[in-house]
Structure 1
Amino acid sequence: MPQSTMCFLRILWVCLATTTGYSQSRTDAFLTNLFSSNQNPVFQQVIRHAETHRLQLIYTQINRDKNNKPSFKNYYFRVDSTEFFSPASTVKLPLALLSLEKLNSLNMPKVNKFTTMQFDSAYSGQTREWTDNTSQNGYPSIAQFIKKAFLVSDNDAYSRMYEFLGQGQINRALHAKGYLDTRITHRFVRMTSDENRRTNPIRFIDTTGKLLYAQPADYNKDAFDFTRIARIGTGYYTGKDSLVHESFNFTERNKMPLETFQQILQSVMFPLSVPAKQRFKLTNGDYAFLYQYLSQFPGETNYPKYDAKQYYDSYVKFFFMDSLHHQLPEGVRVFNKVGWAYGFMTDASYVADFKNNVEYMLTATVYVNSDGILNDDKYEFESIGNPFMYQLGQTIYQYELKRKRIYKPDLKSFKVHYEKRLNDNRQVVKDVVN
């Protein structure tokens, strides 16, 4: 075959891979062998049919040197950035980080994560938000939104951070940090693409009501690249409960590959371990705040005062969501963010076991929708998704408990002084939209 022809074919293959989404997923034999040790029926069912369940996962092994400096080794199972999954609430993590970064960039000491915010409306679909009865002072703030987004995955909190940042700024900032295949296009309320390009006027005020900073309504003029089509399922229900017999189109929805999700969490927990451009410009106070609310339990929190029975300790800790006990092992804290929607369950976690001096990261997504119909609320979260994620978490955790380390990690930088629930007469918060 002539050299010119071979060159042309190589270029053609690259173009096809780019435009059609074709690529080869990565799987390490180490994980395949490790998973064979867990013969739980649900776990093995998902592993055997990993393609059907669109399973992807990254296990990040962390080793320390004599100076306690960490190094990271990733093991992959079916990881493919071109295989779409719905990121759902996982995108609340980057928006929380970008919100803190934006506040810091304003360089206005009186405008910080605890400063009162008020949202007005200036376009169709937009709503006002001037008060928040779940906060201690009765008003919204970035700090309160982050708490709610992390503790129980509150959707309104995400939408308000989206409005503070603006669609264009969100995507430009993430792309500048190297997360090029990530796309944030919408709030978590029903809106048109035009409405999602527009964000509300916002003001920050002090305790007397004095204006500190006003942010005008904004419009994103940047174009999105929607050339890679993402369609899933065999049918879906519309908002009017009509069944449409065709795959659901995610092409213009939010997108965040699993590796990006893992890297964003690693950038928070171990900022010096990622390239400088991937880090978020945060203060020491920001990191302390994030570590607390990424790992604090809803039942430990006073504002918001969540129903501890409904929002139990492992409520948003998928890898430790034991259906019987709802508690984590003694000494274990999980710093993580989850998302679940359209049959997808996703979690990125940094696990710290202070009793046994164990640490690692685990990131995974799984799809549990056997009938292929979306928006019918007949996903197998309870029967397959939750048990699988728990078994996956236990497989890695039990392996880590036995894994030999040259140097035990010193985890004191992740020890947090958590809140204690006050015994007051306030009503608990139930039935959050998440």
Structure 2
Amino acid sequence: MRSIVLLFIVFLFPGLSGHAQTRHNRGLEKFIRERASPFLKGILDNPDTYRYQLIYTRIDRNRANQPRFRSQYLRVDANEYFNPASMVKLPVAILALEKLSPLKKYGINRNSTMLTDSSCCRQTQVLADTSAADGKPSIAHYIKKIFIVSDNDAYNRLYEFVGQETINRRLQEMGYRHSRITRRFVPMNEEENRHTNAIRFLDAEGKLIFHQPAAYNPKPFDFSKKILIGNVHYDRNDSLIHRPMDFTTHNNMPLDHLRQILQSVLFPNSVASDKRFRIDEDDREFLRSCMQQLPSESSSPVYDTTEFFNSYTKFFFFRDGKQPIPASIRSYNKSGWSYGFLTEVAYIVDKEKGVEFILSGVIYVNSDGVLNDDKYEYEGVGYRYFREIGEMVYQYESGRKRKSRDFRIFALN
């Protein structure tokens, strides 16, 4: 009880520390260290090695069920680069629904057949065909694949539809000035990624109802800050290059931007109006459903749950050791992994216990300093880090006194 009271005081008087760019609450660090295993303390003691960042967002509801959000930070710095990997799929999936909204007047909806032409980049047409092999190609189908198993081809198709210019213009308009999405997940250079292919939408009879022409993004990016990671790396030809890997032109999304994007979809009224996506409640509910759906629950597409087990994309709590997920707990999340970086933002709720909170985290697990060799410590270090943090916060939240534990999670948001 004493520790719970102490943490409550810390949350009221958080005490930020660190240099100007870093958001770091000493109280959160104290809370974690008091409960950390020797393994976790070893990570906390080596920030330069593990490059970890963590945001713990506590949610309190009043008696009218209205939520209030308060975030605490551990080494969160928008200027400390990590490769976001599949995390960029989160805003692109939402922006696809946003861009679809004005097209509904043509009779198009998220389930309409969407075909990607090869008008600029022949390679992407091949990927479009394979991505749709397990179901009708549509925005809804691609979004489901993005959230259930983090499918790369599905992301590429939505990148084509939204377009590089629109993606980045909207991120800037919404205040995510440190974020940029510059590339698909296929081997292309910066100039090729500026081009996007033509898109066709078909009706139920296969007739063309809308054609979107190929596009090109002429807007420049600010690549003035050099970003180098690691000691050596393998290039696309599997040649060992004896210098750090250059991420200067890669995708970039700071952790707090990702947290805000997740929160804005789940609880739009909790963020400023300029940070809300222009989607209706039906599309928002569809996104929520996809975010928490497990591979075993999906009927289209159907997944081999030996490969895509239920905790495949659920890092906090469950991915380490392929932990079973209790029926009462749902994780509305997006995760990503690449180049030794593991990242996740997750709204976790236990409906039986009335527990809810948001966790956002990143860690770098690449002890040999070699990039692009697929030899990272995801197992044993990365996933264990997420599990221990998730379990720690869940245990605290389960014992914390609330005004009400009988809540409707997205009501009055």
Q: State the TM-score, normalized to the length of structure 1.
A: 0.87
AA in 2 matched with 1:253: H
| Cα distance in structure 1, aligned partners of 2:305 and 2:228 | 38
What is aligned with 2:369?
372
> Where in structure 2 are the equivalents of 1:9-408 lying within 5 Å?
23-108=20-105, 110-128=107-125, 129=128, 132-135=132-135, 139-324=136-321, 326-408=323-405
The unaligned stretches of length 5 or more in structure 2 are: 1-18
Give 1:324 shift: 4.0
Stretches of structure 1 lacking an aligned partner (at least 5 in a row): 1-21, 415-434
The amino acid across from 1:77 in the alignment is L
Rounded to whole Å, the distance in 2 between the matches of 1:50 and 1:105 is 46
Aligned letter for 2:401? K
Structure 1 position 207, deviation (Å):
1.6
CA–CA separation in structure 1 for the residues paired with 2:81 and 2:387: 23
Distance 1:242 1:23, change over 3 A: farther
Q: Secondary structure at the residue paired with 1:291?
A: helix
Quick one: which amino acid aligns to residue 88 of structure 2?
Answer: V
Decide whether the 8 Å contact of 2:111 with 2:138 is kept in 1.
Answer: yes
One-letter identity of the residue aligned with 2:216: Y
SS in 2 for 1:127: helix
Structure 1: how far apart are the matches of 2:395 and 2:134?
38
Aligned-residue offset at 1:320 = 1.8
Which range moves more in the overlay, 181-190 or 314-323?
314-323
1:381-425 CA distance string (max 9 Å, x none): 0021011111111111111111112333513538xxxxxxxxxxx
RMSD across aligned positions (CA): 1.5
The sequence identity of aligned pairs, in percent, is 45
- Per the TM alignment, residue 130 of structure 1 is displaced from its structure 2 partner at its CA by 5.3
Letter in 1 for 2:171: L
Q: How far apart in 1 are the matches of 2:95 and 2:21? A: 32
In the alignment, the residues of structure 2 paired with residue 344 and residue 73 of structure 1 have an alpha-carbon distance, to the nearest angstrom, of: 26
CA–CA separation in structure 2 for the residues paired with 1:202 and 1:30: 51
Residue correspondences, number: 390
| Pair 1:125–1:192, CA change in 2 (3 A) | farther
Secondary structure of 1:222's counterpart equals: coil
Measure how far apart 1:109 and its partner are.
Answer: 5.3
| Preserved CA contact (<8 Å) 1:42 1:387 | no
TM-score, normalised via structure 2 length:
0.91
Taking the aligned partners of 2:406 and 2:24, their CA distance within structure 1 comes to: 28
Structure 2: distance between partners of 1:401 and 1:386? 22
More helix, by proportion? 2
Give the superposition deviation at 1:105: 2.4
CA deviations on 1:85-135 (whole Å, 9 max, x unpaired) are 000001101001000000002242521110001111122454323582312
Q: 1:365 to 1:318 in 2, by over 3 A?
A: same
Give the aligned residue type for 1:133.
Answer: A
Distance in 1 separating the partners of 2:57 and 2:98: 26
Aligned AA (1:399): Y
Match of 1:5 in 2: none
Distance in 2 separating the partners of 1:373 and 1:412: 43
CA shift, 1:329, in A, is 3.1
User: Distance in 2 between the 1:37 and 1:110 partners?
Assistant: 57
Deviations 1:284-318 (A, max 9, x none): 21122111110010111011100122211111110
Contact 1:206 1:212 (8 Å CA) reproduced: yes
Equivalent position amino acid for 2:332 in 1: F
Match for residue 9 of structure 2?
A: none
Cα distance in 2 between the residues matched to 1:101 and 1:366: 31
